[in-house]
Every structure is written in C-alpha cells, then in structure tokens.
Amino acid sequence: MEHRPEYMPENNLIILLLLLIFSAGLYYFWWLARTSRIFGDNPVSNIMLTIFTAGIWGLYINLKYMQKAEEINDRDLKWYMIIFLPLSVLIIQNSINERYFPGK
C-alpha cells in the first residue's frame, strides 16, 4: 500500500461542489492550500497571488494542477481540457482521489 501524507483527506466531489457554491468560493482557498501541499507548492504564495491578481493566478495554478493531477495517474492532459477550467477543482480532486483512494 502506498504511503499517503496525513494532510491529504479524501473529498467527496458533491460535498466539494456544495462547499464551493455555498461559501461563495471562499472554500476554494482552503482547498487550494491543501492541494498546494500535495503538489509541493507553497500554499500561502498561491493564495496571496490568487487574491492579488484577482483570480488570474488561480486560473494558471488550476491548469497546472490539472496537468500534474493527470500525470500522477499516468495520463496526459488533453488540449481540450482547458474548456473544463471552470470545473478544474473537481477534476483535480477526482484525480487525487483516484490516485490515493482507489476503489472508493
């Protein structure tokens, strides 16, 4: 069995979507902090850059994390996936769940 870092909780995609909607997007920053640690980035930098660039950094980091999330599952990110950028949080979380929580 593969070792999972203790800070990587499994997220139910429906609950994640509801939290994002009902918190008016504020839950995104909590999710970004946890996901940044998974991919070896500094969570504070990512959150601050997302705030100071009015979300532009968030779009970039989501695209980057979509690519990394597909790579951890030995898949390539297809060019048309940029269309799904508004759903990138769910796509990234689904890939993390597939990698670290198989069979659930």
Summarize pLDDT for 35-64 with one digit per residue, the tens: 999 999 999 999 999 999 999 999 999 999
Contact between 32 and 46 (Cβ < 8 Å)? yes
* pLDDT over 70 at 86, yes or no: yes
| Sign of the alpha-carbon torsion through 81, 87, 11, 26 | positive
Residue 6 lies in a domain: no
Name the residue range of residue 43's domain: 13-100
Number of domains into which the chain is organized: 1
> How far is the C-alpha of 88 from the C-alpha of 86, rounded, in Å?
6
Instruction: Give the pTM.
Output: 0.87
Residue 57 lies in a domain: yes
Residue 7 lies in a domain: no
pLDDT in tens, 1-19: 454 555 556 688 999 999 9
DSSP-derived letter for residue 86 is G
